[in-house]
């Protein structure tokens, strides 16, 4: 099979790496890819959001499967455009991708499916929103309704902080039109887990869970990022909890999407809070998490390619997935300054030595190979040093041994990935 992966991050490198191992694969392209992806796929110079050009390429090259990494092309209708062109695409339609594009939509689906989630209200009027916050008290969560590059959420510890967030989102419109309406939610307490399920519109197949580290600094301090590290499986997320999440959240929401005429095909990423009264849905994403995907892919024993094809073809019921009895852990190395302003072009050395540590895979995110062969950083999150081990401790030791082999003065990482599980 000929496959085109869309995206350029560590998630897409992990997907390409897993697909490249498939005996069914005959050709792998990635658009636009990065220097690491170029080692397992042919990178083509098309942006992930160039929907028409991507479809044109896929048709011209007789691609059998398009695998979409990030959410932006999905919300722009890449899966719909593929369907119209007769191309198989792993990823939801624009209508189903609303599960990530609109927080109100997600809450409505969850409520209709009776899936446990935080109590919520939506406001388009700032004065009414302020009055609600004062009546509810703190802690309370304020969210811009639309896509805000992962930055539109404020978990406010005080009413004053919530009011300041409302002023920024609704009045100053710091996230643009995403702030035309806000969702105000009950603050959930507990451990957060990222849970993934392959979906074919009808059937959902659990892929398991990972725990991310959103803050930039050790001990969960500093500003939010796209994710600084992950590990899988999270010890707190038992099989019983997974069964409960499948039965109470994933399957009912999938059924509700089908009932609405917008069946969900692709990977459904449920952000969960494990509260004292059971797992509750924080949000859905319509794609793999980054870096959670890296942590999952190195544990997957089965061939990824036929599973993705089955999700597209409505045949997931016929699929069972096998997993290695291993723990995995990803340490993200980011450019100094991230998630604020950071320099591009700093040179990275030592990746060959890092990759020699047993059990380690080095996934690239923001990297580029210069003509002279040097590897340079071109993004905020740059590398995902991923390791497996018989125990989580062993996976962590291997990952940091590999991190220490990387010679990159322009970058940094957190030193405490998996601290919630390991202390
Ligand atoms: P989101 O952009 O929806 O992923 O939210 C960003 C982060 O805010 C989540 O990963 C949670 O850590 C936190 N968060 C969102 N909603 C809630 C909530 N209702 N209660 C507590 N924390 C929340
Ligand atoms: N790591 C969280 C995300 O991909 O949204």
Structure tokens given for 361: 């895979």
CA of 282 to the centre of ligand 1 (A): 6
d(CA 230, CA 319): 26
Q: Which fold has domain 125-180?
A: Dna Ligase; domain 1 (3.30.1490)
Ligand that comes closest to the CA of residue 287? 2
177 pLDDT band, cuts 50/70/90, is: confident
Question: Are 399 and 330 in contact, with CB atoms under 8 Å apart?
Answer: yes
The packing angle between helices 251-259 and 103-112, to 10°, is 100
Residue located via tokens 């609704």: 170
Average pLDDT of the residues in 5-22: 98
Please tell me which residue, 288 or 180, carries the higher pLDDT value: 288
For ligand 2, what atom is nearest to the CA of residue 227?
A: 1
Residue 252 exposed, middle or buried by CB count within 10 Å (0-12, 13-18, 19+): middle
Report the CATH architecture of 327-422. Answer: Alpha-Beta Complex (3.90)
d(CA 293, CA 304): 12
Identify which of 423, 414, 422 has the alpha carbon closest to the alpha carbon of residue 384: 414
Element (H, E) at 399: helix 392-405
Write out pLDDT tens, residues 214-232.
Answer: 999 999 999 989 999 999 9
Structure tokens given for 7: 């995206």
Write out pLDDT tens, residues 351-367.
Answer: 999 999 999 999 999 99
Average pLDDT of the residues in 172-200: 92
What burial letters (b/e) apply to 16-30, b meaning 16+ CB within 10 Å? bbbbbebeebeebbb
Write out pLDDT tens, residues 239-257.
Answer: 999 999 999 999 999 999 9
Ligand that comes closest to the CA of residue 269? 2
Residue among 290, 365, 384 whose CB has most ligand 2 atoms within 8 A, to mutate: 290
Q: Where exactly does CATH 3.30.470.20 map onto the chain?
A: 191-318
Torsion sign across C-alpha atoms 26, 32, 37, 43 = positive
For ligand 1, what atom is nearest to the CA of residue 214?
A: 10
Q: How many residues does the chain have?
A: 423
The DSSP secondary structure of 47-92, one letter per residue, reads: -TT-HHHHHHHHHHTT-SEEEE-SHHHHHTTHHHHHHHTT--EES-
Q: In 225-302, at which residue ranges do the beta strands (DSSP E only) sit?
A: 229-232, 265-275, 278-285
Residue among 138, 140, 141, 210 whose CB has most ligand 1 atoms within 8 A, to mutate: 141
Residue minimizing CA distance to atom 3 of ligand 2: 289
What burial letters (b/e) apply to 106-135, b meaning 16+ CB within 10 Å? bbbbbeebebbbbebeebeebeebbebbee
Task: Answer whether residue 146 shows pLDDT above 80.
Answer: no
Task: Answer whether residue 176 shows pLDDT above 90.
Answer: no
Question: Are 236 and 203 in contact, with CB atoms under 8 Å apart?
Answer: no
For ligand 2, what atom is nearest to the CA of residue 212?
A: 1
Residue 264 exposed, middle or buried by CB count within 10 Å (0-12, 13-18, 19+): buried
Residue located via tokens 């959240």: 249
172 pLDDT band, cuts 50/70/90, is: confident
Q: What is the pLDDT of residue 149?
A: 64
Among 32-36, 99-103, 193-197, 211-215, the range scoring the smallest mean pLDDT is: 99-103
Average pLDDT of the residues in 196-212: 98
> 2-93 sits in which CATH class?
alpha beta
Q: Where exactly does CATH 3.30.1490.20 map onto the chain?
A: 125-180
Q: What is the pLDDT of residue 226?
A: 93
Average pLDDT of the residues in 78-87: 98
What are the residue ranges of helices labelled H in 214-264? 239-245, 251-259
Structure tokens given for 232: 């899988």
Q: What is the pLDDT of residue 150?
A: 61
The end-to-end CA distance of the chain, in Å, is 44
Question: Are 327 and 231 in contact, with CB atoms under 8 Å apart?
Answer: yes
Q: What is the pLDDT of residue 180?
A: 85
Torsion sign across C-alpha atoms 266, 155, 379, 328 = negative
CA of 207 to the centre of ligand 2 (A): 15
Distance of CA 150 to the CA centre of its chain: 11
Task: Answer whether residue 148 shows pLDDT above 80.
Answer: no
Q: Where exactly does CATH 3.40.50.20 map onto the chain?
A: 2-93
What burial letters (b/e) apply to 280-315, b meaning 16+ CB within 10 Å? bbbbbbbbbbbbbbbbbbbbbeebbbbbbbbbbeee
* CB of 76 shorter than 6 A to ligand 1: no
Report the CATH architecture of 191-318. Answer: 2-Layer Sandwich (3.30)
Q: Checking DSSP bridges between strand 2-7 and strand 27-32, what pairing results, if any?
A: parallel
Q: pLDDT averaged over the chain?
A: 96
Q: Where exactly does CATH 3.90.600.10 map onto the chain?
A: 327-422
Ligand that comes closest to the CA of residue 289? 2
């Amino acid at each position: 099979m000929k496959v085109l992966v869309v995206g350029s991050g560590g998630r897409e490198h992990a997907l390409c790496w897993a697909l490249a191992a498939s005996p069914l694969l005959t050709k792998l392209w990635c658009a636009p890819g990065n220097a690491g992806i170029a080692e397992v796929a042919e990178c083509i110079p098309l942006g992930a959001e160039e929907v028409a050009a991507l479809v044109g390429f896929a048709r011209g090259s007789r691609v059998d499967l398009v695998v979409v990494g990030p959410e932006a092309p999905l919300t722009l209708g890449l899966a719909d455009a593929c369907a119209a062109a007769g191309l198989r695409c792993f990823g939801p339609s624009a209508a189903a991708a609303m599960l990530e594009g609109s927080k109100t939509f997600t809450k409505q689906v969850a409520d209709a499916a009776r899936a446990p989630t935080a109590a919520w209200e939506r406001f388009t009027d700032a004065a009414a929103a302020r009055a609600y916050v004062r009546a509810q008290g703190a802690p309370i969560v304020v969210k811009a309704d639309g896509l805000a590059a992962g930055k539109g959420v404020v978990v406010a510890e005080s009413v004053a902080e919530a009011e300041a967030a409302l002023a920024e989102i609704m009045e100053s419109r710091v996230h643009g039109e995403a702030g035309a309406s806000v969702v105000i939610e009950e603050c959930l307490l507990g451990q957060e887990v990222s849970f993934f399920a392959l979906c074919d519109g009808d059937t959902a197949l659990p892929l398991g869970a990972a725990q991310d580290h959103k803050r930039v600094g050790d001990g969960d301090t500093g500003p939010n990022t796209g994710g600084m590290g992950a590990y899988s499986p999270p010890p707190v997320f038992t099989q019983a909890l997974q069964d409960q999440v499948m039965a109470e959240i994933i399957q009912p929401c999938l059924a509700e999407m089908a009932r609405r005429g917008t069946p969900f095909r692709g990977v459904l990423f449920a952000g969960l809070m494990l509260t004292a009264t059971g797992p509750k849905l924080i949000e859905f994403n319509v794609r793999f998490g980054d870096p959670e995907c890296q942590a999952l892919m190195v544990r997957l024993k089965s061939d990824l390619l036929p599973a993705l094809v089955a999700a597209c073809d409505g045949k997931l019921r016929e699929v069972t997935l096998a997993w290695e009895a291993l723990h995995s852990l990803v340490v993200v190395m980011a450019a100094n300054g991230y998630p604020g302003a950071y320099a591009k072009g700093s040179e990275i050395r030592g990746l060959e030595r890092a990759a020699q540590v047993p059990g380690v895979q080095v996934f690239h995110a923001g990297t580029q190979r210069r003509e002279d062969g040097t590897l340079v950083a071109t993004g905020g999150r740059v590398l995902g040093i991923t390791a497996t081990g018989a125990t989580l401790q062993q996976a962590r030791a291997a990952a940091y041994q590999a991190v220490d082999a990387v010679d990159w003065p322009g970058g940094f990482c957190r030193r405490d990935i998996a601290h919630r599980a390991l202390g």
